Structures are given as structure tokens and as C-alpha cells.
Structure 1
Amino acid sequence: MKKNPWKTSLTAIVLGTMLVQGGMTAWAADAGSAVTSAPTVNYGLTNDIRAAIKSVAVTPTASGSQLAVTVRLYNGGTTQNRVPEHELRLQTTSGVSYTLKPSAGNKETLQPKEIGELVYMTSIDSKEIGQVSQLSFVNVDIYSYPKVETTLLTMPTASVWYGGTGTAALQNLGNLAWGQSFTIPGVNSGLTYSTVEASMQDTATGRVAVVTVLASNPGEGRETVPAFRMDAQSEVKNYEGKRSEAESVTLEAGEKKYLHYAIPVENGVTLTNLVVLSTDSFAPKGEGQGPATTLATGKLAISWPKADQEKSTAVPYTIGQPIAFDPLTKVVDKQTQVSLMELHLHENPGEGYQTAVAKFKLTNTSSAPIATPNFQSELVSSQGVTYQGARQSNVTTMLNPGLSYVVSYAYVVPQTEAGTSFSMKLLDAAAAAPYTTTIAALQTDVQKEGTDSTISLYPFDLVFKDVTVSTQTTPQLTYSYKFRLDLGITQKENVVVDNNFSKLRFEIVDSAGRVVGSKDAAFTGANKLISGVQTIDASNITTDQVSYPYTVNVYETIETPNGTSKRLVKVIKG
């Protein structure tokens, strides 16, 4: 049968039912001009059915090689058409021919204007396959003797994926820089993609590279993201990835969504590339043939980002200003305004570490109650060291309109950390669960404390006018303690404080450095702290000796899932 090439880029009148979309567009590294691959060519299999190659892969196995092919068919006629009986054969440049087995899911007929994909695969106990040159549809009449073979169509293979490791596996793939926009060659989709974030995350089962990809639909109709995955490569090994989204992802015209890929890797590995692979399912025919197999074909290689590209760039931030979140995030409602109000770093005497405390103000700007956003946070030092934040244990579930609420995060930081400038990352823990993705990144400095007498615990400003400690003797000849506290408290308006808010802890330290008494005091409840003179009874703490003078350490305490976090806010000498 005569070959009838039909370039899709020249057939504008059938764009809605094209068999294969146009070629992949990449951007030149040294200029902004577009580099376009050769258009995909379609061939006539019958008068109405056209064929094009989606993918051809030669992949090493433990005992030899796996040959896999996917061919796309399009019925351009006005009636249902049967796919002609055939064998699919793969030929190499050395003249060797391999017959591939069809998948049980291959279509036998096509409705008018329908597109169908035929999947073929076979395993060969040889690693000497050579270079693939063409594919052929061959009709075999087994009822004739000798049997009669008729070649229905032969298609040259312009692009073949030779799986393996290192640069050799990438020779026939388009190579992109990190962040460049791409489409997937040979895949019937107009969606475009770009890599936006990569991070290494530790889990209970090991280290995982998490890659976020932005999918965009520039077309005029709804599209579903086709099946593809992302693998990672080092110089000597491949690491298979898996998409975190279990359900299919659909994009309306003009819509953008994130895709997330988790790639388990080894500790200490240095990755060099990401590989974009289209995937197809091959189901063996007949009973007892085993489960379906996923066939993956490399399409593009993307350079693994440099250290300064892996994580979202932190933008300069001024304490108290509304935070600009990723516009695609689902974590923070558009009607919720979030601001970082405090970031303090303090050493805790006797604890062996420092504590950083961040306080966020969450404001409901709408006219109805909305759910409290649940984001995670990390502090990243100027040297790239990351400290995970622990969110306070209890947080109100709903935000009422016109009001602000405070949520605190505590970070345990080693005493050797001397930096004062940090990147604050806010994270989504749901989109790619159990992994996290960045929804905002801020560059800010830790705050210096106010005057000697004023302490800021947003939304409170505290002025310690006088603190004295007295002892009293019990009938058992032991001593207990009372604090006489003259305190000034000012609270910001329209900021709600409930029993989840942090507390003050007063610790009495004797001249030998021993903690001989302590008492927690809350900002809410029947015995809350007030402006003016008040007495705090620490009679639940007793000692059998008195040692003057006393020092009172005043801490802010926050209850977190990891325990009580303390931040030293003031030291009062007796």
C-alpha cells in the first residue's frame, strides 16, 4: 500500500480531532527563540484509518531486553471501521525483525473520528538488539500454504528510547533546562508543563526527591493530564518516580494545576537529570498470563536544578505585612489574610539549645466563618540548614468574620546557630501527602527585643514594673513561694485570644543556679494575668532550704505535639 504522509501541522481544519498534536517546543539556552522538533507524521493504514508512532522503547532487563511500542490510530471515516488483522514487527538497521505481542486491551474497531492506542511488547533474552529503524503492520494469512504475508504499512522510527543509565540513555531525548516549558512529544495532548520546585525530604522509609510540575491548558477545551511519570538519574543509577495524585487531573481551558512526583532515592546521592516518560499499560492475552505491565518510554530530559534553584526563592518580607501565597494553593482561603507578626530567637538557660518562636495573625476578611488554614513551616538559615516548626497543639477550627486569630510555631535551634537572617517557608502538607510543597517563602530577620521593661507577645505588650519573690514556711518546715507582680498589659484590638494561646512561666532560680520554684500564668480564664498588682501563688513547689538572692526567668511557653516549647523573654534579678 502506498505511504501517505500527513503532517498534522498543515491540517488546521481538523485540529479538534487530530491524531497527534504538533511538535514539542523548547527554548534555546542562549536566546529566547523557540526551537521546534520535526512535526509528527501520520500514515494511511487503510482508506479511513491513519497511524502514527507514539513511542518505541528498548529497555534492558535482568536477562535481556524488553521491546515496547505504542501506535496511535485515528478513524477519519464516517462509519465504524475494523482495525485490519495484523502482526506488529520491529526491524533493526541490521535487518533483524522482532514480532511483538499485542495487549489484551487493544481496540479491534474504531468509531468515526475515534482515536485508539495499540500497545505491543515482547521480551528477548538478548542485550544485542541494535538500532531500531522501522515498524511494520503485517497481515499473515495462516490458512494459505505456504502462508502469505502482506505488509500493510511500514513507518520509520524517528525517535526511539534506549533505556539505561547515564548520558547514553539520554542521547535521543530532547534536553531542557530546569524550569523550561515543554509539551510531551508523541502524546496526544495540548497541555504544557514546567518544573517549579524540587526538594529532598526524609521519611520513615527513606529519602525522597519531591518534584512539583505546573500543568497549564492553553487550549479552548477541557483536557485530562495524560499518563506520564518523572524519574531521576544519577551518573550511575535510575530512580523511578510516582505521581502523588491518585485520581485523574483535569484542566479547564486556561486553567493551571500542580502535579507532584515522589522519587525514592538513596542517602547522599547526587542527581543529574529528570526524565519525563510516557506510560502505557500492557495486559497479556489469555487466562493465567499475569497482571498488566506498565511500559515507560523516555521523552525528555530535564537538568536537575542547582542548589539555588531547588527551593522556592524567598522574597524580602517586612514583619506585619500580609503574606503573598502561591495563587494556586488550596491551603489558604482567598478571604484569609496571613501575616507574620513575631519572629524571636532565644537561648534557654540549662536547656542546651535555642528556641525560635514565630507568631502568625490569621484574619477573616469575608462576611462568613471560614476554616482555619493548616500550613506547616520551616526556618532555613543563610547556610541552608533547615529547622522544622512545631505548630501549637490546639488551634481554633473556624475563623469568624472581621476578627484575627494567632497561631504560634516553635523551632528548636542549636546553640551554634548564630545567624539573625532566615528564610521562612510555609508548606502545604496535603497536596502531595505525605510530602510537603512550598506555598510561600519569606526572607526576614529575627526581631530584637524591646526595652528592658517592655516585652512583646503578640497581641500583648507587657511592661514588668516590679517582680518580687517571697517565701513562706509550711508546718512541715519547708518553704513555698509567691510572686508579687506589678504588670502592665495592652492588647491589640480585634485579635482573639483563647485558652490555646501561649502562657507565661515564672521560674525561680537560686544563687546556686537551681530551679526551686515555678508557676504558669495564662492570659485567659478566671485567674488570668491582669494589669496592675497581682500575686501568683507557687505553693505547689516547695523546698527544704532557702538560698538568696533569687533570679526569676520569665518564659513564654507553647504546647506543641512535641511537648512544651519555651522561649526566654526576660530575666529579673532579685
Structure 2
Amino acid sequence: MRNKPWKTGLAAIVLGTMIIQGAIPVLADGVGSAAAVVSAPSVNYGLTNDIRAAIKSVAVTPTANGSQISATVRLYNGGESVNRVPEHELRVRTTSGIVYTLKPSVSNKAALQPHEIGELVYMADIDSKEITQIDQLSFVNVDLYSYPKKETTLLAMPTTSVWYGTGASAPQVPDTMNWGQAFTIPGVNSGLVYTPVDVTMQNTSTGRAAVVTVLAENPGTGREIVPDFRLDAQSEQKSYVGTRTETGSVALEAGEKKYIHFAIPVENSVTPSKLLVVSTDNFVAAAGSQPVVLATGKAAIAWPVSTGSGVAAPAYTIGTPIAFDNLTTVIDKKTQVSLMELTLHENPGEGYKTAVAKFKLTNTSDVPTATPAFLSQLSNAQGVTYQGTRQTNVTSMMNPGLSYVVSYSFIVPQSETGTSFALKLLDGQSVAPFTTTIAALQTNVQEDSTDDVISMYPFDLKFNSITVGSITTPQLTYTYKFTLDLDITQKENIVVDNNFSKLRFEIVDNAGRVVGSKDAALTGDNKLVSGKQTLDASNIASDQMSSPFTVNVYEVIDTPSGTAKRLLKTVKS
């Protein structure tokens, strides 16, 4: 009997970097291949002179009427020609000596090409809940044409690992790995190494789900396809079935790393205690029938421990390039993103505060590139998270050597008094409708300027004076205009267009009523300029005049959820 090479997935437990829930998952470097993989030797057996066999999975799971027994066996043809799979029945034996014959899937291969690997799937529904532990799986040839019929055992293999479900009475459960440990999937024909790097609880219109990010790495020398498996979540009371969000196959070239993601719907207020790595196989009972998915638990991963102190993120210096996950496809490698402003302001009369984050996006390449479309979240020290809203209109392309400004607004309650926040930038495309973190940073909100110059990046504004006047109409009502004297300075190589935020001037009388307002742009044909100019605030009229007046100057940003306002200055006229 010839010994042929046999490629198989091996159980592996590798101590990796511990990642706390909510932390930035920038782990593309230094994970997987950098760790020493400890693995157990694979066990395979000779079925014929050329074909070797190994057990991929065996499972006994409860059904409504009894139990379902399933098994998947992997065969390898080490010969130099086509070899038929010998005629056989697949049988399992319990520790009490009872033998069950499983039915083959109609999709099972009848022959293997030279050096081909094939998987044979078997299943049987047994109307009994008294099935004890499985200790052996065997190929048995049955000669029905002899009398009495002749049975020949072609191969018997011990079953050292059997999946019995997640119930408390299960006689065998997988070992639980720590969060952040790298692993391969036992019994699966793949050398890919996986590391869980991030998990978040997210709410969408379809409900609540745990979204798990796993780093997949190919340490081998050839191209590999991520095999069929999923991550389920388990709480103290029940299990929740997950789904891989990537559609179609995911391929990794030699040495390549990619993220794969799993969405696991869970009930409100449920916090899972562990994750289950579950391999899946399809059993087809008859031609044209729908396949039955056979799920086998392979390993367990402890749920990450939360510190309870909010989001972990590195300290950030305003104006410096943000460090993104090396594997993200949202941000082009030649695009730099910097946070230029983070401000938190009262909105008089609105009942809430508004935080505004203003980003500078710079195209450092020599060709036009698409403007990145990332999402954002702001979290305070207690872990309370606010969703950001991007300004309504953003240029679609960025020319080389130039910077563009994009603003995000966050509506926060009046009770929010924090001055330090964690800002997470998110990928909202790869796993839609869910999100994954591509960068995180910790920074303080900027205090209002105490001098005469106000920063409205990329502009610096200095209001020298604002005076309010009134006009009496023939209907004996008053309309208002105001004259302002200001200096405007703009940073170089920063593109601002009609999408940029505007200034809003609100005239407030001594009774606190807004009696006139005017929006003014810093871009376009009728933009504000340095020097003196007069603006007409005729959109509001009053039948009485009450002076003196106060002028509130706001920066206003149009967002899909409405207009976000940032109070810049209050001037007594």
C-alpha cells in the first residue's frame, strides 16, 4: 500500500493578541503567520491500495421524533489513474454495540480522478432518542447476490470526535478557545488559519445581531477557497444560528489575508457566552430534492470580555493622518484622511446638542480617485454611542494633490457633557446592512475660541462688526437687514464647492424671538468676501420692532436627517 500525501485541516490553538469588544480590529499585520501553530497529526486510513480515507465529521443531533445521525468522510486518490470508490455501506457503531446504516447523498462521487479529493456525505433519521455515543465508523461491502449474503468490512475507523449538539446532556463538547486565538478547523480540508478580531452588537431594521469579524490567512503556497462553515452564538439558554455575510466563494492566494464576517441574529438583552465554529455539508436525498444542511460543531470560542469603560481606541492628534486597517477596501491606499475639527455645540430652541466632525481627504496619488464613503460613530466614556450623518452632497471624485472637506454631524442629548470621545470610522458596504470598524481614535472636543478668529476649516473668520437695521413695509411690518465687516482666510490646496457648509445669521430681539435670518455661502457666485457687506434677512417679518438685537452666527450643514447647526458666535448689535 502506497503512502500518498494527504492534505487536511488540523486542529490548532494559538495564543494571539487579546481584543476587547468594541476595539479597533487593526490586526492584519502580526496575526496568524506570526504565531507558532500547534497542531495535532491528522489520521487517515487506507480504503484501497490508492484511496485513503479520513473522517471529516460525525454528528448525532436530536430531532422532533428522535435523532439524526450524519457523517462526512473525505477520500483521496493517490493513484495515477481514475479509481472507483468501492461499493459499500457506511455504518456507525455505538458504545453499546448497536450499529446503524446511513444513507448516502445522491451527490456523492462514484469515482475519483488522480490526486483528487472527494467528500462523501451520509445521513439517517432514527426514531429513537436512546442513541448512545458513537465509537466507530466503517465501510462495509455487502454482496446481495450470495446466500446467505456476505458482508466484508473494508475499513473501520475510530470516531474520537463526535458532535452531540449544545445541550447540557451532550456527552462530548468542543474545547473552548480564548478570544483572539488563531485556529484551523478540525477535520476540514483546508490549511487556512482564522483569528476572531472584532465583535459588535448592532441593531438594524431587521433586528439585533452580533457581527463577528474573522481574519482569514493563507500560510500555504497555493490558492485556497474558504470552506463552508459558519459561526453560531450560544447563550446560557439557547443557540443562535449565524450566516456568513460574503456572498459567493472567498479565495485567498498564498500569503494573503482577508476578513470574513458573520451576522448572528440574537434576541434583545441577550449576551452570548461563546461562539461555535460550525462546518456545514449538504445531503441530497434524491435527485432534484432540496439539500439538507448538516451542521457539525468543530470548536468553541469564548465571548470577548468587555471592560465596561467604553470603546478602546488610541489617542489622536488633530490634523494628523488617521491609521486605517491595512485590509480595508473603503479607503484607497493613496488617500489620506485627517480629522481637522470635532466640536460640540448647543442648539438653542432645538432641544439637543450637535457634535460636528470635519475631515480632510487628500488624494496623494497622480490620478483622480473616488471619494471614500465611510460611516462614523461617536462614543463617550461610558460607551454610549451616537450615529454620525454625512453631509448630503459630497464630490464623487478627488483630483491628485488636492484636499477635500467632508463633515459628519452627531445629534446628542442635552445631558451629554463629555469632552473626550472615541470616534470610529466604519465600513458600511462590505457587510451591509451591518458595519465593521476600519479605524478608531480617541480625541477631545475643541473648545470655542476665546479670540476674535473663528475656525471653520478650511476658513478662518474674524467678525469685526455686525449691525442690524430694519425696514418698514407698506403693510406696516418690519423686515431686517444687517451689515457685517469680516475677514476671511482660506487654507491652500483645500477644495470647497457648493457642497460646503454655510453660515446662518439669526436676528434675535430682546424678547428672545428670531425675527430674521439669512444663510450665506463661503463658495459660489454670491459668496461672502472679506470687507463690509449687507445681507437682507427678509424671510421673516414682524409687526412690531423690539431692539436691541442679538445676532447668532451658525455653521449649518445639510444632512439626510435635516440641518445640523453649530453655534460659532453671538454678537450684540
Q: Does TM, scored on the shorter chain, surpass 0.5?
A: yes
Q: Deviation per CA, 1:397-435, whole angstroms, max 9, x where unpaired?
A: 000111100000000010111110000000001111111
Number of the residue aligned with 2:200: 199
* Fraction of identical pairs, as percent: 68
Report the equivalent of 1:346. 345
After superposition, where does 1:380-395 map in structure 2 within 5 Å?
A: 380-395=379-394
- Report deviation, 1:453: 2.0
Of residues 550-559 and 438-447 in structure 1, the stretch that sits farther from structure 2 once superposed is: 550-559
* 1:24 corresponds to 2:12: yes
CA distance in 2, matches of 1:43, 1:381: 58
Aligned counterpart, 2:27? none
Query: 2:497 maps to which residue?
Result: 498
- Cα offset for 1:21? 4.1
Say whether the 8 Å CA contact 1:165–1:235 is kept in structure 2: no
Aligned residue identity for 2:75: L
Query: Aligned-pair distance for 1:99?
Result: 1.0
The verdict on how the C-alpha distance between 1:571 and 1:171 changes in structure 2, with shifts beyond 3 A counting, is farther
The reply on whether 1:564 has 2:563 as its aligned counterpart is yes
1:112 aligned residue: 114
Contact 1:312 1:438 (8 Å CA) reproduced: no
Q: Is the alpha carbon distance of 1:475 and 1:35 closer, same or farther for their aligned partners in structure 2, counting shifts above 3 Å?
A: closer
- Classify the secondary structure of the residue corresponding to 1:340: strand
Question: Following TM superposition, by how much is the alpha carbon of 1:19 offset from its aligned partner in structure 2, in angstroms?
Answer: 4.1
The offset of 1:27, in angstroms, is 3.7
**In 1, distance between residues paired with 2:446 and 2:250?**
43
Q: Residue deviations 1:195-226, cap 9 Å, x none?
A: 01100110111101000000001111111111
**For residue 140 of structure 2, what is the amino acid of its counterpart?**
V
Contact 1:197 1:312 survives alignment (8 Å): no
| C-alpha contact (below 8 Å) 1:104/1:283 kept by paired residues | yes
CA contact (8 A) 2:8 2:191 kept: no
Contact kept in structure 2, 1:27 and 1:35, CA below 8 Å: no
**3-state SS of 2:295 partner:** strand
2-structure distance, mates of 1:123, 1:40: 29
Give 3-state SS (helix, strand or coil) of 1:350's partner: coil
Taking the TM superposition and a 5 Å limit, the aligned residue runs for 1:230-269 are 230-269=231-270
Task: Supply the AA of the counterpart residue of 1:424.
Answer: L
- Indicate whether 1:535 and 2:537 are aligned: no
The CA deviation at 1:301 is 0.3
Partner of 2:161: 159
From the superposition, tell whether residues 33 and 355 of structure 1 become closer, same or farther in structure 2 (CA, over 3 Å).
Answer: closer
Partner of 2:434: 435
1:317–1:27 Cα change, 3 Å: closer
Unaligned 5+ runs, structure 2: 19-33
Task: Give the SS at the match of 1:247.
Answer: coil
CA distance in 2, matches of 1:29, 1:382: 24
Q: How many residues align?
A: 558
**Whole-angstrom distance in 1 between the partners of 2:446 and 2:17:** 42
Retained in 2: the 8 A contact 1:198–1:310? no
Distance 1:537 1:499 in 2: 21
The 3 A distance-change label for structure 1 pair 550 and 418 is same
Pairwise CA distance, 1:131: 0.7
Contact 1:19 1:72 in 2 (8 A): no
Instruction: Map Cα deviations across residues 143-166 of structure 1 (whole Å, 9 max, x no partner).
Output: 223322211111000101111346
Residue 572 of structure 1: CA displacement? 1.4
The one of 72, 82, 85 aligned to 1:80: 82
Residue pairs, 1:222-301, within 5 angstroms? 222-286=223-287, 290-301=289-300
* Structure 1 residues not aligned, in runs of 5+: none
Aligned twin of 1:176: 177
1:188 equivalent in structure 2 = 189
Q: Could you tell me how far apart the structure 1 residues matched to 2:521 and 2:287 are?
A: 72
What residue identity is the alignment partner of 2:177? Answer: L
- Which one of the candidate residues 59, 62, 70 is aligned to 1:60? 62
Moved more, 144-153 or 325-334: 144-153
Higher RCO (CA-CA < 8 Å; seq separation 6+): 2
1:233 shift after superposition? 0.4
Q: What's the Cα RMSD here?
A: 2.1
Q: Which residue of 2 aligns with 1:426?
A: 425
Write the letter of the residue equivalent to 1:155.
Answer: M
Q: Partners in 1 of 2:311 and 2:194 — Cα distance?
A: 17
Go from structure 1 to structure 2 and tell me whether the alpha carbon gap of 1:206 and 1:396 turns closer, same or farther (over 3 Å shift): same
Measured in 1, the distance between the counterparts of 2:257 and 2:473 equals 71
Output one character per residue of 1:113-147: Cα deviation in whole Å (capped at 9) or x when no partner: 11110001111222221111110111112222332
Name the CA shift for 1:26/1:134 in 2 (closer, same or farther; >3 Å).
farther
Output the CA distance in 1 between the equivalents of 2:479 and 2:442. 47
| Conserved? CA contact 1:344–1:356, under 8 Å | yes
Is the counterpart of residue 512 in structure 1 residue 511 in structure 2?
yes
Show the counterpart of 2:29: none
User: Is contact 1:25–1:34 with CA below 8 Å preserved after alignment?
Assistant: no
Deviations 1:41-77 (A, max 9, x none): 1111111111110001111222222111000011111
Give the superposition deviation at 1:169. 5.4
